[in-house]
């Protein structure tokens, strides 16, 4: 069982790459209303005016998108989809049961540890600013809010809580 996570996805998507990924996504799916060119113009406007304040000073974010903007989840998801397609199309050894939630990926690997580490290394060459971390186990592996458990060759899941979680909830 393997999980990979992109390091700081939102702030590491180059604007031109992300905009082209969104445009390609729309064209590939024959989405014409609104036109892909208009969406590209609006994304360019948003991404080139991504100002924020820190310690009383204003800054312009020049690459990527802020996580708090309304466009960020869809934009990051589509950009990540482009990277995912490139990884899976070109990989010599392919993972099984690949599943992704935005920048978190989990899959099964049956080609041995050496080839897994090569796959991870290869995945980090697909794009210059998008880099993956990796975790793997033959027994159990946390992924998002679940733990995947190998029970005699079948995958079971349970709820995962971080060891530092105090289980304090507001009512």
Q: In this predicted model, what pLDDT tens digit does every residue of 47-89 receive, in sequence order?
A: 998 888 889 999 998 888 887 788 889 999 999 999 999 999 9
Kindly state whether residue 153 falls inside one of the protein's structural domains: no
Least confident of 39-43, 121-125, 160-164: 160-164
Q: Is residue 143 part of a domain?
A: no
Within a domain: 38: yes
Q: Is the pLDDT of residue 17 over 90?
A: yes
On whether residue 129 sits in a domain, the answer given is: yes
Look at residue 155 and tell me if it is in a domain: no
Kindly state the tokens that stand for 149.
């458990």
**DSSP letter, residue 155:** E
* pLDDT surpassing 80 at residue 111: yes
pTM: 0.85
Check pLDDT > 90 for residue 164.
Answer: no
The answer to whether position 93 is within a domain reads yes
- Cα(80)–Cα(148) distance, integer angstroms: 23
Q: How long a stretch of residues is the chain? A: 171
Q: Which domain holds residue 11?
A: 2-136
Between the alpha carbon of residue 150 and those of residues 108, 160, 169, the distances in Å are 11, 15, 31
Q: In what order do the strands lie in the sheet with 2-6?
A: 96-101, 104-108, 2-6, 132-136
Give a yes or no: residue 151 inside a domain: no
Residues 6+ apart with CB under 8 A from 85: none
* Strand ranges inside 2-145, DSSP E: 2-6, 51-54, 57-60, 96-101, 104-108, 132-136, 140-143
Residue 170 inside a domain? The answer is no
- For the chain, the domain total comes to 1
User: C-alpha angle 5/8/10, rounded to 5°?
Assistant: 110
Burial letters 138-151, b for 16+ CB under 10 A, else e: eebbbbeeebbeee
| pLDDT at residue 171 in the model | 66
């Amino acid at each position: 069982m393997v999980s990979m996570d992109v390091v700081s996805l939102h702030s590491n998507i180059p604007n031109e790459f992300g905009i082209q990924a969104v445009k390609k996504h729309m064209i590939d799916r024959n989405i014409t209303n609104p036109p892909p060119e208009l969406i590209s113009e609006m994304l360019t406007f948003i991404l080139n005016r991504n100002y924020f304040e820190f310690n009383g000073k204003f800054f312009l974010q020049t690459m990527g998108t802020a996580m708090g903007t309304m466009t960020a989840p869809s934009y990051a998801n589509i950009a990540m989809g482009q990277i995912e397609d490139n990884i899976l199309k070109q990989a010599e050894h392919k993972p099984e049961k690949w599943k992704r939630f935005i920048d978190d990926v989990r899959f099964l690997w049956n080609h041995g540890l050496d080839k897994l580490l090569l796959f991870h290394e290869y995945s980090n060459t697909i794009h210059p600013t998008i880099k993956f971390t990796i975790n793997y186990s033959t027994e159990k592996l946390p992924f998002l809010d679940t733990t995947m458990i190998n029970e005699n060759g079948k995958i079971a899941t349970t709820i995962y809580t971080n060891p530092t979680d105090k289980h304090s909830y507001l009512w």
